[in-house]
Amino acid sequence: MHINLIVIKTSDIAATARFYESLGIHFEHHRHGQGPLHYAAVLDQVVFEIYPLKESEVADSTLRLGFTVSNLEQLIEEVRTQNIKIIKEPATTSWGYTCLLEDPDGRKVELKQADVCE
């Protein structure tokens, strides 16, 4: 078994897409039938989608996502210029060279250096 789909929901779909695009994810706009317009990207056979919340819903800020990146130092320098919240600065841990960011809905997003964790 392997994971093939991750869907997050947000009240500000454009801001959330910009956040993940700043990490290097390239989205396309999608709509399935009469469903809502949303963003979708394919990351190593996993579809990652951002959908708008319904008015009565609240984003789940308890979800934590992790992404492996090819150059963590360079990416963090770019992130610093975009007013993105860095919760934990890059550091070597028992899981590799990682850092922790926060997306617009308060989700924790871990970035891990590829050559250290593979």
- pLDDT tens figures, 57-90: 999 999 999 999 999 999 999 999 998 999 999 9
State residue 46's pLDDT score.
Answer: 95
Residues of 81-111 as b/e, b for ≥16 C-beta within 10 angstroms? Answer: eeebeeeeebeeeeebbbbbbebbbebbbbb
Domain membership of residue 102 as a residue range = 5-117
State the CATH number of the domain containing residue 24.
Answer: 3.10.180.10
State residue 32's pLDDT score.
Answer: 87
State residue 55's pLDDT score.
Answer: 87
Residue 67 in contact with residue 109, Cβ under 8 Å? yes
Is pLDDT above 50 for 117?
A: no
Residue 73 tokens read as 């130092």
Query: How many domains in the chain?
Result: 1
Residue 5 in contact with residue 47, Cβ under 8 Å? yes
- pLDDT tens figures, 12-62: 999 999 999 999 999 999 998 888 999 999 999 999 999 999 988 999 999
Residue 47 tokens read as 């579809």
State residue 81's pLDDT score.
Answer: 93
Is pLDDT above 90 for 118?
A: no
Q: How far apart are CA 110 and CA 10, in angstroms?
A: 19
In this prediction the pTM is 0.90
Rounded to the nearest integer, the mean pLDDT of the chain is 93
